[in-house]
Structures are given as structure tokens and as C-alpha cells.
Amino acid sequence: MVAIVPSYGIWLAGILFAIGMAGLLVRRNIVFMLMCIEIMLNAAGLVFIVGGARWGQADGQVLFLLILALAAAEVAIGLALILLFHRRYQTLDADAASRMRG
Amino acid sequence: MLQYAWLVPALPLTGFLVLALTASRLPKMVAGTIGTASVGLSMLAVLAIWVQVGFSPLPTGGYTLVLWQWMNVGGFTPTISLYVDHLALIMMSVVTFVSFLIHLYSHEYMEDDASYSRFFAYMNLFVGSMLILVMAANLLFFYVGWEGVGLCSYLLIGFWYDSADFDRAARKAFIVTRIGDTAMAIGFFLLFNALGTLNIQELMHRAAASWTVGQGMAVAGAALILGGAVGKSAQFPLQVWLPDAMAGPTPVSALIHAATMVTAGVYIIARTHVLFALAPAIQLLVAIIGALTLLIAGFSALGQDDIKRILAYSTISQIGYMFLALGVGAWAAAIFHLMTHAFFKALLFLAAGVVIHAMDGEHDIFKMGGLRKTLKVAFWPFLIGSAALTALPLITAGYYSKDLILWEAWSSPQGAWWLWVMGIVGALLTGLYIFRAVFVAFFGKPQRVVAHYPKGRVVIPLLVLSFLSIVGGFVEIPPNLGDIDAFTTFMASVLPSAQGAAEPTPGLILAWMQIAAGLVALGSIAIAAFLFARRAPLFNMLARSRGGRALKQFWAVGCGFDWVYLRALKRPYRRLSWLDRNDIVDSFYTGVAALTRGFYYMLSATQTGRIRWYAAGIAAGMVTFLALAVWK
């Protein structure tokens, strides 16, 4: 098994996170926004994995499992919210819900 | 007991604190009892002081009780200290005693009011402030009490604050008296600047030692204090607030008119009489103001139909007598009249309150009538109070005090025959206006059914005050009728006699004056009976004529002072403030407001309501902080 160079893993995670955040800010479709959040979560998970591999400890993988569970719960709630959102506004455009404008 | 003299003002103030802090959470019975008992205990404390003074007389120059030092700023060291001498003792007794009776009356009278507890809280604060005013040893502490009664009069006149008219009356009382208060404060500054102390006794000694009669500073100081007294005691030209002050509940009117507030002006002039003696011109002005006021108010009272407004103008007129007495140097006579007036004016107001309750809140005497038979419990006290007010000879307290004032107005060195004439005309008016009320309201045909009869707690104060309105004057009887001078002798340690050392023996002239005053009192009642009880045809003709109606209207509005002030002061002032709305000083404050508003718009613009903007904000913030952490 080829050892992973930690800095490559960190770079990959950083790029993934940036892609996710850019998508979150650019896309207006709320489903895509949710997917972008998932990408960002996984980027964070990847950092834990890389960290665990670097120091040869199991903590990183344990935390990744935790993030995975969190992401699953978050997706369940997020999809329910999207469903309600669509029912109320008849659209998936996140900017449609701007009644809190000051 | 004297070292516990602080209890006298402290007890009502404690009552106020308890009632204010419990904020109407106490049951009505408990709240009213706390309010009444605190004043009652204060009255007992005064009684204890009397007992001690009876056994061992007060030290010459009075007893000073220093409680603590207020502040110490550059040689200015006012103390919280009380001062008890014979003048203060008389005032304390009148204030606590009459206030206690009024509280007892209110205990039942105000029972149906929703804000019962608030009422007693204000009343207690009122009495406490008045006691501070009376007992203060220095002018700064005195001013605390002075402003305290001003505040309480505002709170109580506007007690039913949901009526815009009552609210306006309360503000009017506060603002008009404020004009006088400002003059008085300037006077205190002046005195402190010139003499270096605010302790009243010390101040009087230094003034007498370092100033000559008629010196500019003495005149200015006396004039400014007079300004304050004129405002608080509702004298010409600041009398306009008192008739409107009838907006408050009736016990409040009784308290303001009899025990607290309006007598404060008389008291401060008597208290600083040394200063006034140094300024004869101002003292003459006091007499003239008093004489003018008693006439203006007497005429105005004749034009009123509202029973409480009649009594209000009558108070202004009677305080005018006190000012007249002060002006001619009859200090003790003024305080004597203050005392008897407290008894019979409280009695009149409390009796009027019973009438108003019985008539379901009706104030107009022409809508009453026949109450002599249906409401005896109010009729007899009102009649006794009216007789005392008219100074019915020999049998009423008012006679002895008013007679003394009229005699001094004639015979004292500062007196003059024309002051006496104005006083005697005022006495005629007094009998006319008060017996007009008596004959119209209590005689004739009943017009309304009596809706409400008073019970014990209302009746007892009426009885006690009726008794005192008759016997309260027997402490001072003229030389040719029995020669008792207990009151003036008691006062002699504080207030010098008007006549100076060489008191002339009152000869035949005193007897003639007494006969004249007696005839005027009886005559005024007879005229009132002729005009108002019988509704004489001649009177009806006069009243319906154009001139008669115009005169009645003129008197009804209090001789038009409000009209003059509206045009001479209020409207020009409003006009000026409208013209001045863009001035340069204001632009700074409007600038601050505009800047704040600008920031508000900027901050509000960041709240777009779009979730992506918020996310972007969070991301930008995170990047910034990371950058800061990495590159420091």
C-alpha cells in the first residue's frame, strides 16, 4: 500500500471545500445548495482521515464516522425542509424566501 | 422626644415607600390603613414633642437636629438637618393633624377608586414633603420639600390621568408654580453668594447684622423669595393654576388648600421675615399683592357655578388675607389665619366632597338644591365652615383670625387705611360668594335624589373639623372681648409683634372696627339670602341684562387672566419657538439623529433576507479571521 502524502490530502480537502462553498454561494437551486453542503462536510471528513493516517491513530476514522452520521441526519432534515419549501413557494429558488429582509 | 423629631417627616415617607414598592398589590383595606396610620403616627410624634415642650421649653432660638452632612464642596456644607421652634411646631401640628383627618376621610371616600393604593402613596409623599419643607433647617433641604410638594400636586391633580383636561390642569399647576420656584432658587443662590450660608437662622442673623434697611441685596433676595411664594401660594399674578387644580379628587383639593402646598408660601415669608423687614418696599408689595388677590379672587368666586371652584377661589382670597397680614408685619396674625383657615377650608372641601358623592359627581350648585333636609350630614359642616369663612362674629374661628388681620392692616406702622378698606370689601365678597353656594345648593327645591350617604370614616373628620372651626379661634381674642393672646405670645419667640415695642392701647377705634367687620359679615349673609335664596326679581333682572351676563362671564373665567396669558405669553412663545425651529444649536442634535439614522439604514441593508448572502458573509468573515491568524 502506497503511503499517502499528507499535504496532498489536505490540498484535496481544501479544493473540495472551496468547490462546495463556491457552489453554495453561486447556485440558487436549493437542492444543489444542500449537495454543496454535503461536499463541504466530506471535505472536512477527509481532513480527519488524512490526519488519522498521518499519526497512525484511529481517532480520525472515528470522527469521520461521526461526521457521516451527522451528514445523514442533516440530509434527512434538509430534504424535509426542501419539500416544505417547495410546497410553500412552488419553486426551488432559495432567493424566493427573503421575507426577513430588514 | 425632640431627638426623634426626624420621625415626623420619616413616617409618611416610609408609608409612601411601602405603598409605592408594593405597587397596588396590597388589599385596599391594608393599603389605606398603612397610608392613614403613617400620617396618624406622625401626628402622635408631633403630640409627643408638644408634651416635651410643655415640660421643658425649647431652647431660645429653637432646636436643631443635624441628621447627617449632605455634601462638602468648597466650603459649601449643607446638612440634612431639622429645625423645631414655635413656628415650625404650629405648622407641623396643623399639617399632620389636618392631613390625618383628610387621610381618614379618603380611606372611605376613595374606596371605589381602582388606584386606591397609588392615591395613598402620593398623599403620604405629599405630607412627608410638606413636613420636610416645614422642618428644614437650611434652605437647600427646604427646597427639597418645596419641590416635593410641587411634584405631588402634579401627580395628584393629574390623578385621573386618562382625561386630557385633567392632565392639562396638572401640567399647568406644575409649570406655573415652576416660574415662582425658579425665582426662589435664584434668590437662594444670591443669598448664599452674599452671606455664605444656607442655614436659615444663621442666614437671618447675618442678614440683620450686615445689611441695612432697604439695601439692594436684601431687596433682591426678598423679592425673589416672594416670587416663589406667589407661585406656590397662588397669588396674583400666578393664581391661575389653583382653580384648574380642582381636577384632582376632592380630598386632594382639601389637602392642597388646607394643610399643604398653598400655605408654603406664607410659611417661607414668615420664616424669612427678617429679610422682608430689611426690604420695606417688598414688604409693601406683599401687602398689595395680598389685597389685590383677595379682591380678584373674591369677585371670581362670585362667578363660579362649580362648588369646588368657588372654594378654590375662596382659598386664593384667604391666602391673600395672609399675605396682607405678612405685608403689614403681622406675622403671627398670618400664621393664626393659616391655622384657622386650614380647619375651615378642609371642612368645606370635605363637606363638598360628600355633596359631590351624593349628587353622583355633579359639581354645579344650580343642579343641586334642597340638600339642607336630604343631606344634613353635609349641610351642617358646610354651614359651619361657611360661617367661619365669612368670619361670623364671636362664634367662629375665622372671625378672630380675620379680625386680627384687619386690625393690624389698619393700625400697624406699615398698615394703611386703604389696605383695611380692601380687606373689608373682600370680607363682604367672602360672605356673598360662600353663602351664594350655601343658599343655592342647600336651600330651595331638591333637584336630584341623594345617591350616596357617607359612613363613619367620612363623618368623624367632618365633626372634628366643625368643632375646630368654631373653637380654634379662642386662643386669640381681642383685648376688649376677653383679651386672650395665647397664640401671639407663643409665637413671640419667633415672630415679632407688628406694633413693635410701643404697642398702642386699642381704644374705641378697635371696637368700631369690630362692629364694622361684624356688620359686613352679617350684611353679606343677608344680601346673599336676599339675592340667592329668594331669587329676588331685581336680581334676576340684573343677571339677565347684557351687562350682568358679561360681568358674570368675566368673573366666571377668573377675571380673564388665562385669556391675557394666552395672548401675552403662550401664543407669542409658541410663535417664537416655531420661528426658531431651524436654529444652529438644534442642527447639532438633528445631525446626531441623522447620523444614527444613516447607520441604521446601512445595517438594515445587510439584512437582505437571502440566505446565500448570509452564507457569503460567514465565509468572508471566516477567511478574514483565518488570514489574520496566519499572517498576524
Residue B536: the pLDDT is 60
Inter-CA distances, B412 with A39, B32, B401, B409, Å: 106, 47, 16, 6
Contact B270, B87 (CB under 8 A): yes
Q: Which residues of chain A from 35 to 94 reach within 8 Å of chain B, CB to CB?
A: 94
The pLDDT confidence band at residue B537, using thresholds 50, 70 and 90, is low
The pLDDT confidence band at residue B373, using thresholds 50, 70 and 90, is confident
Contacts of B404 by beta carbon, 8 Å cutoff, 6+ apart: B325, B330, B333, B336, B337, B476, B478
Helix (H) or strand (E) holding B66: strand B63-69
The pLDDT confidence band at residue A20, using thresholds 50, 70 and 90, is very high
- Say how many CA atoms lie within 13 Å of B227 toward its Cβ: 18
Q: Which neighbouring-strand residues pair with B500? A: none
pLDDT digits over B420-454, tens only?
A: 888 888 888 888 888 888 888 888 777 777 777 77
Q: Is B388 exposed, middle or buried (0-12, 13-18, 19+ CB in 10 A)?
A: buried
- pLDDT score of B364 more than 90: no
- pLDDT score of B491 more than 50: yes
Residue A42: the pLDDT is 92
| CA–CA distance, B569 with A22 (Å, rounded to integer) | 71
Residue A95: the pLDDT is 83
Residue B505: the pLDDT is 59
- pLDDT score of B532 more than 80: no
**Residues of B whose CB is below 8 A from A37:** none
User: Which residue reads 408654580 in cell numbers?
Assistant: B177
| Cross-chain Cβ contact A95/B610 below 8 Å | yes
| Cross-chain Cβ contact A24/B610 below 8 Å | no
Contacts of B502 by beta carbon, 8 Å cutoff, 6+ apart: none
| Cross-chain Cβ contact A99/B606 below 8 Å | no
Question: Cell digits for B84?
Answer: 423645631
Percent of chain B scoring above 90 in pLDDT: 5
- Among B472, B474, B492, smallest CA distance to B484 is for B474
First to last CA, chain A: 57
**Most A CBs within 10 Å, among B610, B618, B623, to test the A interface:** B610
Contact B340, B400 (CB under 8 A): yes
| CA–CA distance, B31 with B269 (Å, rounded to integer) | 36
- pLDDT score of B498 more than 70: no
Question: Cell digits for B239?
Answer: 393664581
| Cross-chain Cβ contact A94/B606 below 8 Å | no
Residue B556: the pLDDT is 76
Residue A23: the pLDDT is 92
- Three-class DSSP labels, B428-485: HHHHHHHHHHHHHHHCCCCCCCCCCCCCHHHHHHHHHHHHHHHHCCCCEECCCCCCEE
| CA–CA distance, B489 with B57 (Å, rounded to integer) | 14
| CA–CA distance, B358 with B375 (Å, rounded to integer) | 8
Alpha helices in B255-396 (DSSP H): 263-271, 273-277, 280-302, 307-327, 331-358, 371-374, 376-390
Radius of gyration of chain B (CA): 28
Length of chain A (residues): 102
- pLDDT score of B240 more than 80: yes
Grouping H, G, I as helix, E, B as strand and the rest as coil, residue B330 is coil
Closest partner residue to B611 (CB to CB) among A21, A94, A102 is A94
pLDDT digits over B72-87, tens only?
A: 777 777 788 888 888 8
The residue in chain B having the minimum alpha-carbon distance to the alpha carbon of residue A21 is B619
Question: Cell digits for A15?
Answer: 479544493
DSSP B532-588: IIS--HHHHHHHHSHHHHHHHHHHHTTTTHHHHHIIIIIHHHHHHHHHGGG-HHHHH
| Cross-chain Cβ contact A25/B604 below 8 Å | no
| CA–CA distance, B311 with B254 (Å, rounded to integer) | 10
Contact A75, A10 (CB under 8 A): no
The residue in chain B having the minimum alpha-carbon distance to the alpha carbon of residue A27 is B612
Closest partner residue to A101 (CB to CB) among B603, B609, B619 is B609
Residue A39: the pLDDT is 93
**Residues of B whose CB is below 8 A from A43:** none
pLDDT digits over B117-130, tens only?
A: 888 888 899 999 99
A96 in contact with B, Cβ within 8 Å = no
The pLDDT confidence band at residue B502, using thresholds 50, 70 and 90, is very low
**Residues of B whose CB is below 8 A from A33:** 612
- pLDDT score of B214 more than 90: no
Percent of chain B scoring above 70 in pLDDT: 96
Sign of CA dihedral B429, B256, B556, B565: positive
Question: Cell digits for B6?
Answer: 426626624
For chain B, what is the mean pLDDT? 83
| CA–CA distance, A78 with B126 (Å, rounded to integer) | 66
The pLDDT confidence band at residue B363, using thresholds 50, 70 and 90, is confident
**Residues of A whose CB is below 8 A from B608:** 98, 101-102
- pLDDT score of B501 more than 60: no
Question: Cell digits for B216?
Answer: 439692594
| Amino acid symbol at B581 | R
**Most B CBs within 10 Å, among A36, A39, A98, A99, to test the B interface:** A98
| Cross-chain Cβ contact B606/A102 below 8 Å | yes
- pLDDT score of B113 more than 90: no
Question: Cell digits for B442?
Answer: 342647600
To the nearest 5 percent, what fractions of chain B are helix, strand and coil?
75, 5, 20
| CA–CA distance, B423 with B411 (Å, rounded to integer) | 13
Contacts of B440 by beta carbon, 8 Å cutoff, 6+ apart: B365, B366, B368, B369, B532
pLDDT digits over B13-62, tens only?
A: 998 998 888 877 788 888 888 888 999 999 999 888 888 888 877 777 77
| CA–CA distance, B381 with B367 (Å, rounded to integer) | 20
**Residues of B whose CB is below 8 A from A28:** 612
Closest partner residue to A98 (CB to CB) among B605, B608, B619 is B608
The pLDDT confidence band at residue A86, using thresholds 50, 70 and 90, is very high
**Residues of B whose CB is below 8 A from A21:** 619
Helix (H) or strand (E) holding B398: helix B397-411
Question: Cell digits for B131?
Answer: 413636613
pLDDT digits over B393-402, tens only?
A: 877 888 888 8
| Cross-chain Cβ contact A98/B609 below 8 Å | yes
| Cross-chain Cβ contact A24/B609 below 8 Å | no
Closest partner residue to A25 (CB to CB) among B606, B609, B615 is B615
- Say how many CA atoms lie within 13 Å of B584 toward its Cβ: 0
Sign of CA dihedral A28, A32, A33, A36: negative
**Residues of A whose CB is below 8 A from B615:** 24-25
Residue A1: the pLDDT is 53
| Cross-chain Cβ contact A21/B619 below 8 Å | yes
Whether residue B237 has a cis bond before it, omega within 30° of 0: yes
Residue B580: the pLDDT is 77
- Say how many CA atoms lie within 13 Å of B559 toward its Cβ: 17
Closest partner residue to B616 (CB to CB) among A25, A33, A100 is A25
The torsion region of residue B554 among left (phi > 0), alpha (psi -120 to 50) and beta comes to alpha
Length of chain B (residues): 632
- pLDDT score of B242 more than 70: yes
| Amino acid symbol at A37 | I
Please report the number of interchain residue pairs, chain A to chain B, with beta-carbon separation below 8 angstroms.
Answer: 32
| Cross-chain Cβ contact B605/A102 below 8 Å | yes
**Residues of B whose CB is below 8 A from A24:** 612, 615
Residue A16: the pLDDT is 94
The two beta strands, B484-485 and B63-69, are: unpaired
How far does A50 lie from chain B, in Å, by closest CA? 21
Sign of CA dihedral B374, B375, B380, B385: negative
**Residues of B whose CB is below 8 A from A95:** 610, 612
Helix (H) or strand (E) holding B82: strand B79-84
**Residues of B whose CB is below 8 A from A94:** 610-612
How far does B625 lie from chain A, in Å, by closest CA? 16
Residue A69: the pLDDT is 93
A24 in contact with B, Cβ within 8 Å = yes
C-alpha B417: how far from chain center? 29
- Among B600, B400, B405, smallest CA distance to B484 is for B400
How far does B225 lie from chain A, in Å, by closest CA? 57
Q: Crossing angle of helices B307-327/B331-358, nearest 10°? A: 180
Helix (H) or strand (E) holding B175: helix B164-195
Residue B499: the pLDDT is 61
The residue in chain B having the minimum alpha-carbon distance to the alpha carbon of residue A100 is B609
- pLDDT score of B221 more than 70: yes
pLDDT digits over B284-328, tens only?
A: 888 899 888 888 888 888 888 888 888 888 888 999 999 988 888
The pLDDT confidence band at residue B331, using thresholds 50, 70 and 90, is confident
- pLDDT score of B114 more than 90: no
Residue B194: the pLDDT is 85
| CA–CA distance, B18 with B26 (Å, rounded to integer) | 10
Contacts of B464 by beta carbon, 8 Å cutoff, 6+ apart: B101
Question: Burial letters for B140-157: b for 16+ Cβ neighbours within 10 Å, e otherwise?
Answer: bbbbebbbbbbebbbbbb
Sign of CA dihedral B27, B30, B32, B35: negative
**Residues of B whose CB is below 8 A from A22:** none
The residue in chain A having the minimum alpha-carbon distance to the alpha carbon of residue B613 is A25
